[in-house]
Amino acid sequence: MTAGRELAARGAWREVARGSGLLWSGPDGERVSPTIFAEMSALAARTGAINLGQGFPDTDGPAAVAEAAVRAIRDGHNQYPPGAGIAELRRAVADHQHRHYGLQVDPDAVLVTTGATEALAAALLALLEPGDEVVTLEPFYDSYAGVIALAGARHVPVPLVQHPTGFRLDEAALRAAVGPRTRLLLVNTPHNPTGTVLTVSELEAIARIAVESDLVVLTDEVYEHLTYDATVHLPLATLPGMAERTLTVSSSGKTYSFTGWKIGWVHGPAGLVTAVRTVKQFLTYVSGAPFQPALALALAVDDAPRRLAASLADRRDLRCEGLAAAGFTVTVPQGTYFVVADGAPLGFDDGAELCRRLPALAGVVAIPLTAFCRDGSGAHSALRSSLRFTFVKRAEVLQEAVARLARLNG
Ligand code: PMP
Ligand code: GLN
């Protein structure tokens, strides 16, 4: 019996009815319960605190792209689009991958999904058998653990190691985590929540291990355009031997600041993409008819992501300097729109507890790093006092948050 069926037999729905929200649990007891983002956004709404928890911009994406979606609605793009996504968008994704990274992508091997979330879920459900192992970095984006548990597979997280320069891959630990049951490596770069952008040598290490052990790699690159300073994002699929074993996932949510439109995509070898499409059709079938032509137009032009990254670089600096001035130890991110700050120097050794108290203490909401770690893991205890703050907010909102957080140091 899978862990899920066992729980159902034990009446897990009663747990839900009692309000714990626990619905499902993987072979290692990983829980599927309401997400930390929903919980912390509700806390912000309840307390009126500035929400630097859930990562979503407080300004809309390019007006011309929004206008294109409005036009698409008026022009009648309102019924089910094709299962794989409209041809214009699949072609635009393929062109984008070629223009930016030199990847040769067949538009027929692009699948449009309901955000990156669905691409990841459909890929994991398509490729995993109960008992298979999936290796991820730790901390990890929360949906990974949830879907791995839903698939009845085993999640094997490998901690990124914290250096003064940021969180880095430990090749030996990654190699040691791969065993005979490992089916898939699930990588994320630029990395949420640490802001790490994997270097060429880190990507080469991942590629070496994937090739040696003949693994499929699922790579989540939703922050591909949000990198700072001279840092460059390199897709794993560009490394030798990787295109034929890699499913690359991205999304318009982060690149164009339309997180609510939920248009993502995945591309890779035709056989793997067909497997993902087969699952996807029973998850959502299709979605976002009028948004697809609008994003096909957006993807053909490169200046919006570049402008967003440039304006985010300044906001990153504002956020990092403000957190450091408030007394946190800050790890400056090279990518994404998140920064990790350790509350230990301020005397707060429990980040989850600090997040619950932060609205009262400073009128701000953040996310505890432990929400991205496996309960009881080494990373969980190493990151116990750390918080994730987003900086994808208007500068005046960040300035107000800086002023409020200064109270912690007073
Ligand atoms: N992967 C990562 C690393 C994320 O941070 C997010 C959330 N933005 C997603 C996937 C989900 O993306 P989407 O909103 O397109 O489903
Ligand atoms: N990806 C966003 C974050 O990390 C949140 C998305 C969500 O709420 N599921 O904050």
Q: Where residue 1 falls among pLDDT bands split at 50, 70, 90?
A: very low
Structure tokens at 239: 């490394």
According to DSSP, residue 83 is labeled T
Task: Give the mean model confidence (pLDDT) for residues 131-158.
Answer: 96
End-to-end CA distance of the chain: 55
Closest atom of ligand 2 to 38 CA is 8
pLDDT at 156 exceeding the cut of 60: yes
* pLDDT tens column, 276-290: 999 999 999 999 999
Which residue in the block uniquely carries the two structure tokens 């829980």? 31
* 8 A C-beta contact, residue 169 and residue 177: no
The helix (H) or strand (E) run that includes residue 184 is: strand 182-188
pLDDT at 4 exceeding the cut of 60: no
Residue 35, pLDDT score:
82
* pLDDT tens column, 84-130: 999 999 999 999 999 999 999 999 999 999 999 999 999 999 999 99
Mean pLDDT of the chain: 93
CA of 14 to the centre of ligand 1 (A): 30
Taking the C-alpha atoms of residue 286 and residue 292, their distance in angstroms, rounded to an integer, is: 11
Q: C-alpha distances in angstroms, 213 versus 138, 175, 185, 210, 382?
A: 21, 10, 10, 5, 29
Q: Where are the alpha helices (DSSP H) in 83-199?
A: 87-101, 115-127, 142-150, 171-177
Query: For residue 87, what are the contacts with CB-CB under 8 A and spacing of at least 6?
Result: 107
Question: Percent of the chain at pLDDT above 70?
Answer: 92
pLDDT at 16 exceeding the cut of 90: no
Is there an atom of ligand 2 within 6 Å of 192 CB? yes
Q: Which of 35, 36, 54 to mutate to test the pocket of ligand 2 (most atoms within 8 A of CB)?
A: 54
Closest atom of ligand 2 to 41 CA is 8
CA of 229 to the centre of ligand 2 (A): 24
Taking the C-alpha atoms of residue 401 and residue 284, their distance in angstroms, rounded to an integer, is: 38
Residue 37, pLDDT score:
86
Question: Percent of the chain at pLDDT above 90?
Answer: 88
Which residue's CA is the nearest one to ligand 2's atom 1?
55
Residue 22, pLDDT score:
57
Instruction: Give the predicted TM-score (pTM) of the model.
Output: 0.94
Pocket of ligand 1 (CB under 6 A): 55, 115-117, 141, 188, 192, 220, 222, 251, 253-254, 259, 262, 264
pLDDT at 18 exceeding the cut of 70: no
* pLDDT tens column, 167-206: 999 999 999 999 999 999 999 999 999 999 999 999 999 9
